[in-house]
């Protein structure tokens, strides 16, 4: 069995740490013991289930490339052993990281939200790599999003005249507005709701999260709670969709599936941007 060599970027962040453990446990993957990190990171390395992982700051990327070369893993993404980078870094690093991956033949899964998404897609489409880009890797949430997109395409304007409210809560360290909230917002817009991204209500204060939202104490540093409420006072109708995620475990299976999906498409050619819906359809 050919192993997929996976570099998880974003350590020492919790998402990256948890994903590293899953990659190590997967029988068809090998964890590359390096992780791109932010310029403010003081740590030089972390341990992931007994594996020592070197943290690579932005000014040390040449070191990363040298180590890939000496490991025999810097082959073009369409040749040799499959190498996939998984990005859970920071919104401010999205576009620079994508440009780095593209310039060095590293196919990637982008789970980090934020950045210039149009430029992100263009970077991949104009390159010799392909990527899975998605604001959410939880397969059930991706399925919910797809259902709403189908409804919006099939019944445009269905909720015209309804007032929309979107509330989302994440751990304090999440810097940007939820990409999932923005994606579902786009479907509600096609369904007839007049709403813009700056109306999304973000919560990052752990005191309010605990006391007003009821989020359990043990998940204040890792959760994703969303509620979308549609009201029509004139017709006396109210609809609500809620998806509340505690912890990060629900994302792990989808991320690993995205890695496998991307590795299996090396022969399909470069310049392609895949979504998590593509991953789900592949089974």
**Known catalytic residue at 139:** no
**Known catalytic residue at 174:** yes
Determine the Cα–Cα distance for residues 203 and 224; give it in Å rounded to an integer: 10
Q: For strand 83-87 and strand 4-9, is the pairing parallel, antiparallel, or unpaired?
A: parallel
Catalytic residue among 5, 90, 139, 174: 174
139 within 8 A of 256, measured Cβ to Cβ: no
Catalytic residue among 5, 22, 90, 170: 170
Determine the Cα–Cα distance for residues 254 and 231; give it in Å rounded to an integer: 33
Residue 3 DSSP label: P
Distances (CA, A) of 75 to 64, 81, 82, 104, 129: 14, 8, 8, 9, 12
- Pinpoint the alpha helices (H) of 46-88: 61-70
Determine the Cα–Cα distance for residues 256 and 17; give it in Å rounded to an integer: 14
Kindly list the catalytic residues: 170, 174
């Amino acid at each position: 069995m050919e192993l997929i060599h996976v570099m998880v970027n974003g350590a020492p962040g919790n998402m990256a740490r948890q994903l590293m453990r899953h990659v190590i446990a997967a029988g068809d993957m090998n964890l590359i013991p390096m992780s791109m990190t932010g310029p403010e990171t003081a740590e030089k390395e972390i341990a992931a289930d007994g594996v020592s992982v070197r943290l690579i700051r932005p000014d040390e990327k040449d070191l990363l490339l040298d180590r890939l070369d000496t490991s025999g893993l810097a082959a073009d993404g369409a040749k040799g052993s499959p190498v996939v980078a998984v990005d859970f870094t920071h919104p401010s690093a999205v576009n620079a990281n994508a440009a780095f991956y593209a310039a060095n033949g590293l196919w990637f899964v982008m789970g980090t939200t934020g950045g210039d998404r149009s430029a992100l897609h263009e970077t991949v489409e104009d390159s010799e790599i392909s990527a899975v880009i998605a604001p959410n890797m939880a397969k059930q949430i991706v399925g919910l999003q797809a259902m709403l997109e189908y409804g919006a395409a099939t019944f445009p304007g269905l909720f015209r005249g309804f007032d929309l409210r979107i509330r989302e809560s994440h751990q304090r360290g999440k810097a940007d507005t939820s990409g999932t909230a923005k994606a579902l917002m786009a479907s509600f817009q096609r369904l007839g709701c007049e709403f813009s991204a700056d109306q999304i209500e973000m919560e990052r204060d752990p005191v309010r999260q605990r006391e007003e939202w009821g989020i359990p104490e043990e998940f204040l540093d890792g959760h994703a709670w969303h509620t979308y409420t549609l009201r029509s006072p004139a017709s006396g109708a109210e609809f609500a969709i809620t998806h509340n995620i505690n912890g990060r475990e629900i994302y792990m299976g989808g991320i690993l599936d995205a890695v496998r999906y991307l590795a299996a498409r090396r022969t399909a050619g470069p310049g392609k941007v895949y979504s998590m819906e593509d991953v789900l359809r592949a089974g």
